[in-house]
Structure 1
Amino acid sequence: MDPILAAAAVVMRLQGIVARESAPAEQTTLTVGSLHAGTHSNVVPESAALGITVRALTPAALDRAVAAVERIVRAEATASGCPREPEITMVSRSPVTLPDEKLTVAIRDAHREALGAERVAAWPASMATEDFGLYGDAGREIHGYPGCRSATGWSAWWARGSGPRRRARATRRSASRHSRPTTPPSSPRTCPSPCRRRPRQWLWRR
């Protein structure tokens, strides 16, 4: 058997989890971010390794997607005639981050008062991975406590900034993007604005 063919079959079959096994209203994403196999173009490798990330907005949806991944990997390995069972390792798992509603409203109002309402925007549910939820009950196995939270709960929020010229360009391109960041989180394009007087020095603009 050829591990690369088996891995390719797994990658193709996995695409049906979101398209055919998840409800349209149930946000779920699945990414095959890496495939490693072989060292030379004319030699069939002994194994192939896939790196897969599954994300969902509810624990139940995540459990179903993860179970589907395991089912497909094992079935395709059998169909490809693999000599042994595939090794499936869950590297990490983060819970859904659900900030306290009242505390989030209080923080939002404080930001609007300090920065101006036009600079504070509500952010819809995001599929970005985040381990902040482990500070709550979901992280009991890690920190040994029912929940590391204060009496008022906890909240998570994002703060980003960009230079005035970049913000102005984004506003001119589309009025609907006025309250959106010009670069997404962890983007390689996120950088400080250069100082005109000293070209070699970079300064943050607020």
Structure 2
Amino acid sequence: MKSYINDQMIKKFQKSLPSIRIKLGLENLSAMPDNFGVGGNTFRAYVGYVLPPSSVYRNWAKKQTNSIQKKLPVNETSSEECFINWHEKLYRFLCRYWLKQQGDSLSLAHGYKLVDLYIKWLSRYEFEDKQFVINLNKYANCAIDSQVLIKINICYSSCLPIHNPSMGHVKNKNTYDYCQQLISNFCDEAMATRLEFDYWAWKKGS
């Protein structure tokens, strides 16, 4: 697949990196907003639930954030293997909490998107140990949605046979992992990370 990578998109991505990197770990913890990185528009796709999906997510995120602030998971995110375990733990916690609150399960695509957006949100803040955000930037995944899927295809010279991609195309963990690998390969060429790709690929209001 690397032979299909669009060199012009590599250059555009690289040009954006300084402005992305300077924002990581920059914001004050006291200024944390209560949406925990997920706006109302995102939840329009979360339909058919008893409780407002935004409230359930934010209550879960508040619990996680309180726990993280008490004990930063620096060791838990210190290597790719450790991060994967921590990431999966967050996903399982969210799914269990969602099922308990809603009486209905959260789809894999929606669950991973919320976890990845939450981690992206954490990366904006200045924690006591700066290594935590360094770890997040190094190992975090990119939140997958239609906008990101379109960007992936453009970055690979539109070689993927996807018309009007959506989160519905992320059917299982294999699809999710494959998308992350495509992003990783592109980022390797640009000497960047999946988290930085997320900041670059997703545009508010698009």
TM-score (norm 1): 0.26
Q: Which has the higher helix share?
A: 2
TM-score (norm 2): 0.26
Higher relative contact order (CA 8 A, sep 6+): 2
Q: Which has the higher strand share?
A: 1
